[in-house]
Structures are given as structure tokens and as C-alpha cells.
């Protein structure tokens, strides 16, 4: 076996082993959480525990007085917003990792196929060499000239030309196959590096999500029951005020778009999930995060959309708020960190944040970045 073949085979073995190891690490990564029932491949994060009314406040945190509950609400919003941004980063890294894993697997298959083809070509070249050895090592041209039979000479001349063309084609096939094999090995190694980078990005995002949720839960655990009730009241009041301000613009008088059949299917799927818990990184069927809900709803309607709210904002067609119709997706906050589905009459269905469930809400309860339409074509 030549040095070139040994190096290519070594590259192929490295690729296959790396894919196996990465797959194994992904499995171990996922096994740390409770049993889940994801609808798409890839590692899913563990569920975050919901804060309990009987939780003991951490000794390092002071129970805030009632007058500071508005500051607590603001702080919780910041923490959950940061967790949402990290969740989008986690989902994006997971989607890229799934794509790259599939590419590596495909390249590994091509490497094996090309190596098999190269082996066959080398066997054919070896057979030709052995044939020449059996004829005394004379070149075909010399054997032809030594023939005493004119017809044999003419027949041999034709076969000689065919043989030369075949030999030339064989050498070209061997060269191209060797080049393809080396390129596939190089591409596979590059995909593996990117796959490892995205695995690290997922881990970093997961750590940030868990930290922010833990901080939020610790903060809520400092509150007494009456303070929690008052905090919930403040949250409802803030949402109602924001929705009222949005409606006071007269926007509902301008919104008149009718739903398509695909819109109706997406809305029906999303509203059927009402009451199911939020879980970051989840795409159903038992739990969802915000973009997991919208992406699965539109997949059910026959129009797959990007997995994350930020990519939904980047890739889908933008429409004005006054032109939106049921089924359109409303993107919230300046960083496109949250998404909901418009269902008509000024309302949305969405998966809000950890500790909450899929619910209906006013479309104006959060700062609207813009609206996108999944079935614009």
C-alpha cells in the first residue's frame, strides 16, 4: 500500500471515528436531563425547574420591600430576556451542528466509495501490467510489428488504438478519483472542526441560559407569597397598559388581512398547544420555546421556516403591521429575541418564558420589531 493511499485511508478513518465520538458526546450531553419527546433530531436541553412557593431564599439575597417590587419586575424581565437571547444562540448552534453532522456523514460515505473505486482502478492497472509481463515484456507496438499475418496486423492495430485509449482513460480516472478522495477528506475535516465549534457554542449558550434562569428563580424565591401575588399583578398591569397604548393608535382599524388556508392551519396548530409548558430549546410536542412553537406550527402548515426568531426575522418576508393577517409572525425587541403568532383581533399566541405556558396575549404587550410572513410566496 502506497503512502498516498495510507494517508487517505487514515483521513477516512479519522473522519468516521470523529463522527462517532461527536455523536456519542451529544448523546451523553442529552442524557443529563429528564426524559423528553422532541420532534426533531439533535440534543435537547434539560427542563428548568419551576420556582416553588415553598422555596427557601438563598442566604445571600435580601427580601426586597414592597416598594421595590417594580424594580424586581424590571430585573426579572432583563434576566429572562437575556435567557431568551441565549436560547436563540443555543437553537442556532444546534441547527448548524445538525446540518454539519449530516454533511460529515455524507462525506464519509463518499470517501469510502471513492476509495473503493480507486482500489478497482488500481486492480485494473495491475491486470494490464501482468498481461504485459506474460507477453515477454514487449510493448504492444513491437508485438504488432513482429506479426506475419496481415489480417492479424490490421486487427491488432485497431485493438492497439483501443488499448491506448483505455489505458489513458484509466490513468485519468485514477488521477481524478485520487483528487476527489483527497478533497472529500479535506472537506470532512473542515466540517468536523465547525461541528466541534458549534458544540462548544451550544454548551456556552446552555450555561448562560441556566445561569440567568437560576438568578431569576433565586430572586423570586426571596419574595413572600403576598409579594409574589403583587408582582404578578404588576406584570398584568404593565401588559394591559402596553396593549391599551397599542390599541389606542387605532391599529386594529387598519388591520384587515384575511387568512389563507396555510395561515389557518398554522394558527390551529399553535392554539392547540395552549397550556403546554415553556422549555428553552424545545420544539414539542409536550413543551416549546417561542420559536419552537412558531416553527413547528408552520411546518405543520406545510411551510417550514427557520428555527430561531432571529433567523425568522432575517429570512422571511417583512410586512407592515397594518397589513398583517392571522398566521403572520410578530418579532419582538430590538434584537429579535422573541416571536409570537398573530391570531387576529389584536391577539397573539406564544410561549412566553420559563415558568409559563403557551398562552394568548395582546399583540402590543411587548415592543414590536416587525412582522414576517412565512407563506409570502
Mind telling me the catalytic residues? 290, 338, 350
SS3 sequence of the chain: CCHHHHHHHHHHHHHHHHHHHHHHHHHHHHCCCCCCCCCCCCCCCCCCCCCCCCCCCCCCCCCCCHHHHHHHHHHHHHHHHHHHHHHHHHHHHHHHHHHHHHHHHHHHHHHHHHHHHHHHHHHHHHHHHHHHHHCCCCCHHHHHHCCCCHHHHHHHHHHHHHHHHHHHHHHHHHHHHHHHHHHHHHHHHHHHHHHHHHHHHHHHHHHHHHHHHHHHHHHHHCCCHHHHHHHHHHHHHHHHHHHHHHHCCCHHHHCCCCCCHHHHHHHHHHHHCCCCEECCCCECCCCECHHHHHHHHHHHCCCCCCCCHHHHHHHCEEECHHHCCCCCEEEECCCCCEEEEEEECCEEEECCCCCCECEEEECCCCCEEEEEECCCC
Amino acid at each position: 500500500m502506497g503512502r498516498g493511499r495510507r494517508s487517505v485511508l487514515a483521513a477516512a478513518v479519522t473522519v468516521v471515528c470523529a463522527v462517532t465520538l461527536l455523536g456519542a458526546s451529544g448523546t451523553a450531553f442529552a442524557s443529563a436531563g429528564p426524559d423528553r419527546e422532541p420532534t426533531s433530531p439533535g440534543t435537547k436541553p434539560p427542563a428548568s425547574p419551576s420556582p416553588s412557593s415553598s422555596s427557601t431564599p438563598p442566604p445571600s439575597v435580601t427580601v426586597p420591600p414592597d416598594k421595590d417590587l417594580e424594580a424586581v419586575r424590571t430585573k426579572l424581565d432583563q434576566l429572562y430576556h437575556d435567557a431568551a437571547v441565549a436560547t436563540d444562540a443555543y437553537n442556532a448552534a444546534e441547527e448548524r451542528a445538525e446540518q454539519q453532522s449530516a454533511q460529515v456523514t455524507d462525506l464519509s460515505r463518499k470517501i469510502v466509495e471513492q476509495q473503493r473505486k480507486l482500489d478497482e482502478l488500481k486492480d485494473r492497472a495491475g491486470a494490464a501490467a501482468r498481461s504485459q509481463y506474460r507477453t515477454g515484456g514487449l510493448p504492444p507496438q513491437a508485438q504488432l510489428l513482429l506479426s506475419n499475418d496481415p489480417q492479424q496486423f490490421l486487427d491488432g492495430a485497431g485493438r492497439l488504438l483501443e488499448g491506448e485509449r483505455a489505458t489513458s482513460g484509466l490513468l485519468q480516472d485514477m488521477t481524478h478519483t485520487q483528487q476527489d478522495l483527497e478533497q472529500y477528506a479535506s472537506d470532512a475535516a473542515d466540517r468536523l472542526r465547525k461541528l466541534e465549534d458549534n458544540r462548544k457554542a451550544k454548551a456556552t449558550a446552555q450555561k448562560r441560559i441556566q445561569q440567568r434562569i437560576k438568578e431569576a428563580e433565586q430572586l423570586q424565591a426571596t419574595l413572600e407569597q403576598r409579594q409574589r401575588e403583587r408582582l404578578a399583578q404588576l406584570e398584568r398591569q404593565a401588559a394591559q397598559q402596553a396593549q391599551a397604548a397599542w390599541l389606542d393608535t387605532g391599529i386594529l382599524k387598519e388591520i384587515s388581512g384575511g387568512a389563507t388556508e396555510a395561515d389557518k392551519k398554522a394558527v390551529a396548530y399553535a392554539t392547540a398547544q395552549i397550556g403546554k409548558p415553556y422549555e428553552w430549546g424545545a420544539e414539542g410536542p409536550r413543551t416549546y420555546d417561542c420559536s419552537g412553537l412558531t416553527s413547528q406550527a408552520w411546518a405543520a402548515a406545510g411551510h417550514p421556516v427557520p428555527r430561531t426568531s432571529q433567523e425568522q426575522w432575517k429570512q422571511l418576508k417583512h410586512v407592515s403591521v397594518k397589513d398583517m393577517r392571522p398566521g403572520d409572525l410578530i418579532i419582538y425587541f430590538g434584537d429579535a429575541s422573541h416571536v409570537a403568532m398573530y391570531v387576529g383581533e389584536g391577539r397573539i399566541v406564544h410561549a412566553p418564558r420559563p415558568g409559563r405556558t403557551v398562552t394568548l396575549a395582546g399583540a402590543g404587550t411587548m415592543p414590536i420589531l416587525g412582522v414576517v410572513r412565512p407563506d409570502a410566496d
